[in-house]
Every structure is written in C-alpha cells, then in structure tokens.
C-alpha cells in the first residue's frame, strides 16, 4: 500500500517537514563557527479578521516537540487571551526560547505550525462560544481538514470553548466521550426516518444520548413529533436543513419548538447544524434552540501569523528591521487584561486603567525538561474565565 502524505511523528521530530533553508542555515553556521547562544521570541503582528483578541493554543504540543532538546522556554500560559501589541505598538512576546541556535533553529517551521493554526481554531471557537452563550456547542469540523490533524483541531476547538468534539481521537485527547448524532446516510440506508430511529435506539448502547436527525425526508415538525413518539428517552432532535429548503432556519426552529412544547415534549432539545458561524448562531439565539453543531467556520479559522525572531545573540540585542530587539518580558493587567512589554522582569508597570500589571510569563522548559503541564479542561476553564472578565461571556 502506498503511504499517505501526512508526516509521521518521527518525520516531524527529525525536521523532515521543515523548510530546507533552516537546514542550510545550520550547515553554514556549523561550518563557519558562527553559531551562538540566542534568544528567539514568538510574536504576532496583527490578529486576522479585525478580531480584537486571540487565544494562544498549541503550547502543549510545542513542549512535547521540544522535550529533550537543550533549550529553555518561557511563555504566557496556553489559553491566554491576548492582543498582538502593547499600547505602545510593541509586539507582545507569547513565548521566548533560549539555547544554541543550531539546537532548535530547524524546528522553527514545526514550532510555528503547532501554534498558528491551533490558535486560529481556538480563537474562532471562543468567538462561537461567546455568540452561543450558555448553549451547547459541538465541534463538527474535522471533515474540512486533513485527517492527520483531527486530534489537533478537536483539542483546539474544545480549548476555545466547544463543549464536545466529534472524533474519537480528539475526545481521547481532551478526556471526554466523542459526541455525535446520526448522519443522513443512516436514514438513506434504512429507507425511512422511522426505521433509522428504531434501529439506532435498539442497537446503540443506552449511554449514548438519543439525538435524531429530522430533516432527511419529511417536514421537520412532523419528523420531530414522530421521533418523540418512537423513542422513549429522546434527548433531542437535530436540524441540518439544506439551504435550498431553509427560508428562515430561525422560524423553522421556532415552529418545531412550539410543536414540541405544545405536545408535552418540553425537555427535547433542538440542535442546529449546517454551515453555522458566530453570526448565524447569534441570529438563532432566542429561537428555542438548545445547541449547535459547528464545523467549517471553526476548523477553517484563519491561521495566526505568529513568527519567531532572533532578538538576542551572545548577550547582545539583535533584530531585523521591523522587529524589536532584546529579550522581553510580558506583563498583563489583572483587571482589564491589557498587556505590556518590558526588558526587565522586575518592572513597575502601571496599566492605563490604574492597576499594577503582573509578569505573566512562566517557565515552560529548562534544559529540555518540561516545567509546565495543564490538562485541556483546565486550559479551557482559563479561557472561559478570561472571556467572562472581558465581558464577552
């Protein structure tokens, strides 16, 4: 069998996936004796889509990637909600790495890759979470991206605020059960909604919530009531109504809700899915919807253009034009979460809101040994707490 195009873990660790110019740089530095002790920082110039903030995600995988290399890494904790620049326009360091350049330089491509797209996905998920308030959100977006990154996508979506994820791999990574309803394929294969509902209820273990898809053949209202009558412990119905039949999805949901309530099925949830994003979710709020399945708008989130730049060599500040030299420390206001930057780790930084700022970088790795580990659920809680503090939730 021919191999798939996805890189294996060994190939990533061996820098087989890196941009070749880093390999050439290592050869030149080693041959010319120009290697040195450096600091490199990870920063973001601007956040895409004019979003006011972003969520840092992927630190755990970066630490797994770098474990055992002779480097020190410091950074803001994973899940930190950040703005890309300080009030004075200085790029805020999200991470600082210290060591011989040739020890880690070839890993730049992979280190950025494990941060950039996951941070975009976590940010999009956080924005969906803010739109959906306390309603349930399930991440359904794996089919829009390469399967090699399913676990990465699901972890990032969960950290950003999704409640559940659809892939078994993603669910294992975040320590939860995979969530899902039923696909249209089941209805089509069984020949009718009724046959599919009955077979699901008979065959699938009772611990799996009964959420039936009700838009395959007939009217959503009629199919919902049928599902309620057929399945004793029906948890919910899912509407994935195609856009060609939608008219107003909100009005369809309102009507289905009315029918369910009036026939005594008040506890049956309505889950909406199909091309939803933060804007369409906001429009559906208040319709009687209980939750959302969100796919492409989260998994296809814009990647964050985080870059890695050398800022110090053998104790001297260096930088390319357009960047700010020197090993920097990141501070944050505990009241309004504004960030600022200093060349000292003992700076007296005052936020414009009048609060003394705190140093928020933490040691993540020393000489290749990790100093920091947080479970996905803890990181997600940290994200939710910051969103509340910002008044977004």
Q: Please give the residue ranges that form the binding site for Zn ion (CB under 5 A).
A: 333, 335-336, 338, 351, 353, 355
Minimum Å gap between C-beta 288 and Zn ion is 39
Burial category of 137 from C-beta neighbours within 10 Å (exposed 0-12, middle 13-18, buried 19 and up): buried
Cα 104 to Cα 121: distance, rounded to the nearest angstrom: 26
For Zn ion, which is the closer residue by CB, 69 or 90?
A: 90
Smallest separation, CB 357 to Zn ion (Å): 7
CB of 334 to Zn ion, least distance (A): 8
Residue 262 or 352: the one with the smaller Cβ distance to Zn ion is 352
Cβ 219 vs Cβ 251: under 8 Å: no
**CA 261, CA 237: separation in Å to the nearest integer?**
13
Q: What are phi and psi of 26, to 5 degrees?
A: -60, -45
Q: Return d(Cα 210, Cα 229) in angstroms, integer.
A: 13
Q: By C-beta, is 192 or 338 nearer to Zn ion?
A: 338
When the beta carbons of 90 and 336 are compared against Zn ion, the nearer one is: 336
For residues 76 and 330, is the Cβ–Cβ distance under 8 A? Answer: yes
Residue number with CB closer to Zn ion (37 or 358) = 358
Cβ proximity to Zn ion: between 317 and 352 the closer is: 352
Phi-psi region at 129: left, alpha or beta (left = phi > 0; alpha = psi -120 to 50): alpha
- Report in angstroms how near the CB of residue 345 gets to Zn ion at its nearest: 20
Cα 310-316-318 angle, rounded to 5 deg? 35
Q: How many helices (H) and strands (E) does the chain have?
A: 14, 18
Closest separation in Å from C-beta 260 to Zn ion: 46
Contacts of 46 (CB under 8 A, 6+ apart): 84, 85, 305
Of 296 and 338, which has the nearer Cβ to Zn ion? 338
- Least Å distance, CB 20 to Zn ion, is 45
Minimal distance in Å, beta carbon 388 to Zn ion? 16
């Amino acid at each position: 069998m021919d191999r798939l195009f996805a890189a294996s873990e060994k190939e990533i660790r061996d820098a087989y996936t890196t941009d070749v110019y880093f390999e050439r740089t290592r050869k030149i530095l080693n041959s010319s004796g120009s290697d040195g002790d450096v600091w490199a920082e990870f920063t973001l110039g601007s956040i895409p889509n004019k979003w006011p903030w972003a969520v840092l995600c992927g630190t755990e995988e970066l630490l797994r990637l770098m474990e055992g290399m002779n480097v020190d890494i410091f950074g803001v904790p994973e899940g930190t909600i950040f703005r890309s620049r300080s009030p004075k326009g200085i790029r805020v360091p999200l991470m600082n790495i210290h060591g011989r350049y040739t020890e880690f330089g070839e890993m730049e491509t992979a280190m950025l890759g494990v941060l950039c797209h996951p941070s975009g996905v976590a940010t999009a998920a956080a924005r969906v979470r803010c739109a959906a308030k306390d309603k349930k959100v399930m991440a359904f977006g794996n089919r829009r991206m390469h399967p090699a990154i399913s676990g990465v996508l699901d972890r990032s979506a969960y950290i950003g605020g999704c409640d559940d994820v659809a892939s078994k791999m993603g669910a294992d990574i975040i320590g939860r059960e995979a969530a899902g309803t039923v696909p249209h394929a089941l209805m089509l294969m069984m020949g009718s909604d009724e046959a599919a509902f009955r077979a699901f209820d008979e065959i699938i273990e009772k611990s799996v919530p009964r959420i039936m898809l009700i838009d395959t053949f007939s009217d959503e209202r009629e199919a919902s009531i049928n599902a309620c009558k057929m399945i004793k412990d029906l948890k919910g119905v899912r509407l994935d109504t195609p856009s060609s039949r939608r008219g107003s999805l909100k009005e369809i949901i309102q009507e289905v809700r009315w029918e369910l309530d009036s026939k005594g099925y008040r506890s049956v949830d309505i889950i909406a899915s199909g091309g939803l994003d933060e804007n369409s979710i906001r429009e559906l709020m208040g319709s009687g919807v209980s939750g959302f399945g969100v796919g492409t708008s989260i998994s296809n989130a814009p990647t964050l253009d985080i870059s890695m730049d050398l800022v110090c060599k053998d104790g001297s500040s260096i930088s390319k034009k357009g960047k700010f030299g020197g090993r920097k420390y990141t501070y944050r206001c505990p009241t309004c979460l504004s960030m600022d930057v200093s060349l000292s780790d003992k700076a007296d930084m005052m936020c414009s809101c009048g609060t003394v700022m705190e140093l928020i970088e933490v040691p993540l790795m020393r000489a290749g040994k990790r100093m920091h580990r947080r479970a996905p659920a803890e990181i997600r809680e940290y994200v939710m707490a910051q969103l509340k503090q910002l008044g977004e939730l």
